[in-house]
Structure 1
C-alpha cells in the first residue's frame, strides 16, 4: 500500500474511532482516551506474544498451538467502515488458505459487547476465528493505535509486517508469501 494512502487512512481511522466513541455505539466513551494512549504499531522484528483466549465460537486460542506457525492478527470493530471494507477480503483469504498447514488467523473484535461482535459475524456469514477483546486481553496484548490493525507474526514469533487502516484484496494477498 502506498505511504500516502496508508497515512490518510490511518488519520481517517482515528477520526472514525473518536466519532464512534462519542456516539456510544461501539466501545465505551473512554475509547478515545484509550486510543490516545495506545502503543504504535510494533516495529518489524519485534517479538510478539499472544495470550490464551476464548473465541466467540466457544473454542480456545492456545498460543502454544501457534508456535512455529505464521499468525495473522486482525483487530476490528463492527462500527468501523474501514474494517467493513477490509474484512470481506480477509475472510476470502482465510477461506482460500485455511486448510493450508503452518499458519493461523486470529481476529480480535473491540466491539462494546461480545454479543455485538457475534451478531456482526453471523449477519455476514464470517466464520474465521475471532475473540472479543476483554480487559484482560487488552492488558496482555494492547491493541496498537488505529483500526483496523493487521499484524503478521512469523514462525519465530517476530513481526513480519504491521499495517494500520483499510487493506485491499491485493494487500491481504501479499500475506500468502509468508504462509
Structure 2
C-alpha cells in the first residue's frame, strides 16, 4: 500500500510551481549591508596598517651597527662585520611557518648574490636548542645569530611594532635602511630589493 503525498501548499493544483513575488529589500536591510561592508573594509584597513612597518626609532641604525650577538657555536658576531655591503637582515623563528617557508628562498638568494657582495643574516628569535635542532634538519649557508628577546626589541626599534615574524630589513652599503617588510618575502621582493642596492 502506498502512502499518499501531501501536496505542496505553495504549488498550485496543476503541478506547476507558483512564482512568488520577491520582497523588496528594506531601507534597514540596505543600511545593515552598508554597515557590514564598512566594518569589513575598516577591519581590512586596520589589519593592513598593523602589518606595515612603522617608523624606525632615532639612532637605531647606529646602535645596530655597534651591536653584537651570539652565534650557535657560542662565538660573538659583531654587526660591524656586515657594514659596507648590502645586508638583508631576516628575523625568524623555528615555530613560525612562514619563516620556515621562506628560508630556502633566502638561502638560494644568498647563494646567487653573495659573489656580488650581498649578505644575508638570520636573527633567530628562538631558543638556541630549537635553532640547532632545526638547522640540523635544514642547514643554511648564510650566518645565523641568536637574537632572543634582544632581537624582539631590535625588531620593534626597526618599525616592527607588533613583533610579527618573519620581518626583513634591507640595509644599503652605507648602513642605512632601504627597505623593510613584515611577512614572508617573495622572489619578486628579492629581485626588486637586489636591484636597488
Tell whether the structures are fold-level matches, with TM greater than 0.5: yes
**Structure 1 residue 175 and structure 2 residue 189: aligned?**
no
Aligned partner of 2:122 in structure 1 is 107
Check whether the contact 1:53–1:137 (CA below 8 A) recurs between aligned residues.
no
Q: CA 1:89/1:109 → structure 2, altered by over 3 Å: closer, same or farther?
A: same
Q: CA 1:8/1:42 → structure 2, altered by over 3 Å: closer, same or farther?
A: closer
Check whether the contact 2:98–2:184 (CA below 8 A) recurs between aligned residues.
yes
Q: Secondary structure in 1 aligned to 2:116?
A: coil
More displaced stretch, 58-67 vs 117-126: 58-67
Q: CA 1:164/1:138 → structure 2, altered by over 3 Å: closer, same or farther?
A: closer
> Under a length normalisation based on structure 2, what TM-score does the superposition of the two structures give?
0.61
With CA pairs under 8 Å and 6+ residues apart, which has the higher RCO, 1 or 2?
Answer: 1
d(CA) in 1 for partners of 2:143 and 2:133? 14
Check whether the contact 1:74–1:107 (CA below 8 A) recurs between aligned residues.
yes
**Structure 1 residue 61 and structure 2 residue 102: aligned?**
no
Aligned residues: 144
Structure 2's unaligned 5+ residue stretches are: 1-44
d(CA) in 2 for partners of 1:116 and 1:94? 23
Check whether the contact 1:77–1:83 (CA below 8 A) recurs between aligned residues.
yes
d(CA) in 2 for partners of 1:175 and 1:119? 31
Q: Secondary structure in 2 aligned to 1:99?
A: helix
Aligned partner of 1:132 in structure 2 is 146
Choose which of 40, 48, 66 in structure 2 pairs with 1:7. 48
> Under a length normalisation based on structure 1, what TM-score does the superposition of the two structures give?
0.66
Check whether the contact 1:149–1:162 (CA below 8 A) recurs between aligned residues.
yes
d(CA) in 1 for partners of 2:103 and 2:69? 21
Choose which of 166, 191, 195 in structure 2 pairs with 1:148. 166
Q: Which runs of 4+ in 1 moved over 6 A?
A: none
Check whether the contact 1:47–1:157 (CA below 8 A) recurs between aligned residues.
no
Choose which of 108, 111, 118 in structure 2 pairs with 1:95. 111
